[in-house]
């Protein structure tokens, strides 16, 4: 599945939205390095890669992982 594949529903941000796998990956890559290393973002990246490489249901999992990372789910306390 190409990185240009759109999510079934865009991921809303405060400013704009993430429509494709590539936009989501670019968003993560623009985060500070220490933020990228947080578990929630590592999981999101793993799911984005799986979606790009395997397709199918991974696209939905990638979207969910991005939403969870954006909302701070799974933060270590």
> Residue ranges per domain, the chain?
6-70
Residue 8 binned pLDDT confidence (cut-offs 50, 70, 90): very high
* For residue 65, pLDDT beyond 50: yes
3-state secondary structure the chain: CCCCCEEEEEEECCCCEEEEHHHHHHHHHCCCHHHHCCHHHHHHHHHHHHHHHHCCCHHHHHHHHHHHHHCCCCCCC
- pLDDT tens digits for 12-40? 999 999 999 999 999 999 999 999 999 99
């Amino acid at each position: 599945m190409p990185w240009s594949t759109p999510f079934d529903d865009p991921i809303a941000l405060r400013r704009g939205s993430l429509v494709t796998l590539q936009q989501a990956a670019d968003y993560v890559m623009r985060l500070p390095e220490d933020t990228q290393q947080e578990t929630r973002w590592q999981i999101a990246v793993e799911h984005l890669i799986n979606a790009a490489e395997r397709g199918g249901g991974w696209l939905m999992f990638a979207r969910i992982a991005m939403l969870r990372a954006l909302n701070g789910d799974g933060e270590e306390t």
